[in-house]
Every structure is written in structure tokens, then in C-alpha cells.
Structure 1
Amino acid sequence: MIRAHRYSLAQTHGGLEAIAELEACHTCDNPICVRVDAHHVYLGTRVENMADRARRGRHNRQTAAQFWRYQSQQERAGMARALRDHVLAHGWDQSMIAHLLRGATTGQGQLF
């Protein structure tokens, strides 16, 4: 088994062997993000990943990212399945993905 963000990195960087000693660093703090670029998920060493975590004040927190701290594992898994099902059924739709990630309800406006 391989986590989705590591699989995405492996596809981008030449396979699992190429990334074996490196970590997936998340600047977006979204543990289910698979968008490989400098603003979301990128490769780094353990030292770089921990330095980034400390620099952004993410150390000494719950094991789940701060962004998801109020959701149970079951809620996060349900959201991941909803995202997967939507993409499989309708393809990638950035506005709907953002809607599903925010957990907005139908008719709810966006503040920013």
C-alpha cells in the first residue's frame, strides 16, 4: 500500500525508487492533497520537512494537520471517498473540489 500523495510524487519523479528516501512535504496542510507542485506537495528530506513544520508552527500539535483537527478519522475518510467518487463520476472540477473540501452546504456563500 502506498499513500496517494506519495504515489503522485512517484509518478512525477520517476517511480517509487526515486523517492524512497524522501518525504512528501505538504505546504497546503491538507493530508489528502495529491497536487504535486511547490505550493502543495513536494519532495524533501526529513530535516527539511521538520524545519518547515517548525517554521510554520505546526509542531507539538495533534497528529492530524491543524486544518483537520475537528474531524474524526471517519469524517476525513468519508470526505476523501466523496472527493474520489466525484472525480471518477464527473472528472476534475476545481470549484466542486473546493466546495467538497470546505464542507459547504448547498446555497452557502463563500466569505472570501
Structure 2
Amino acid sequence: MDTSELERFFQKVRKGPRPDDCWLWVGAIGDDGYGRFSIRRDGRERMVRPQRLLYEHLTGRTLTPKVDLLHDCDVPICVHVSIGEDSHLFEGDDRMNMRDREQKGRAGRRGVLRRGLSRKQHAIRSRALRQVVLTIGWDRDAISAVLSGNAPSQPRLFDWP
């Protein structure tokens, strides 16, 4: 990424106040609930996933289509890539991704996850999260409410990290 593309990229990112917080993508969001970023390469414009683009930029590694980026935080619009322990994204493959889904209770049948969210609902939730961050800024309670699907006033057993 050149400097102007990097500046345009980070205009669409809202970082939480703590070093281990998510960096939330507030740009375009696809039908799968993941971010989209427009780049121009070889005279052609194309859409890419922002977390992959940033990962490649910061690590210097080119990700092949067979390499998945797994979210440690399970927030599809998180783009927190860093070298070291704070990174929310790590390389994996399809098998690791399926194992991660199982361990976190996100696996299910016919596109409906055990948590009850379909692909469409994931997109709705990601867009709602983006709207909260754009409207009121980084508010841990409001973000937690969107991620859990609960009202901000509803008591929680656990705090969001």
C-alpha cells in the first residue's frame, strides 16, 4: 500500500482506547458481514477484505487464497493486525478455521450458526456495530450490546474484553 492508500484505509478504522481493543472497520461491509476496501492495481479497481490487505502490508507476507485469516476476537469487522501478541488476526487454513468455529460454539448447519445468526444476520450485526461506532464513538457498553444482541441496559454476566 502506498501512503495515500494507507491514509485512506485508516480513515475507515476506529481503534479502541486500549492496546488490545479491536480496530473496527467503518467502511463498506459486504453481505457476509466482513469489510470491503477498494484498491487499484494494474489499472483496475477491485474490492478486497481490509484485514487481509493490512495483514499483508504489515507482515510483508502475501496471503494466498488458501490462507484464511482467523479472528481471535470473533468480530468480523475487526482489522487489528499487529506484529506481536496484540494482533486479533492470525493465519490459518480451512481446517483450523473449522476447529476454531467448533471450539467457540459458532458451527452449525445450513448457514445458521449455533448462536442463531445467519449470514444475513451477521451482515446486519456488523453494520449495526459500524453505525454505533460512527454515531457515538468507541463506547464499550454500546459495542458489547451490539455484539451480544442485547440492549445496552441489560445486565451482563461477563464484560466484553
TM-score, structure 1 normalization: 0.61
| Secondary structure of 1:42 counterpart | strand
Could you tell me how far apart the structure 2 residues matched to 1:36 and 1:10 are?
A: 10
* 2:116 corresponds to: 70
Query: Comparing both structures, which one devotes a greater share of its residues to strand?
Result: 2
The answer to whether residue 145 in structure 2 is matched with residue 99 in structure 1 is: yes
Could you tell me how far apart the structure 2 residues matched to 1:100 and 1:52 are?
A: 24
Query: Comparing both structures, which one devotes a greater share of its residues to helix?
Result: 1
* 2:72 corresponds to: 27
Shift of 1:55: 7.1
Amino acid at match of 2:62: I
Gaps of 5+ in 1: none
Shift of 1:52: 6.2
TM-score, structure 2 normalization: 0.47
How many residues were matched structurally? Answer: 104
Amino acid at match of 2:150: A
| Secondary structure of 1:19 counterpart | coil
Shift of 1:107: 2.4
Q: Judging changes above 3 Å, is the alpha-carbon distance between structure 1 residues 20 and 87 closer, same or farther for their aligned structure 2 residues?
A: same
Question: Residue 81 of structure 2: which of 26, 36, 39 is its match?
Answer: 36
Report which structure shows greater RCO (CA 8 Å, sep ≥6): 2
The answer to whether residue 127 in structure 2 is matched with residue 85 in structure 1 is: no
Shift of 1:61: 4.4
Q: Percent identity?
A: 32
Amino acid at match of 2:117: Q
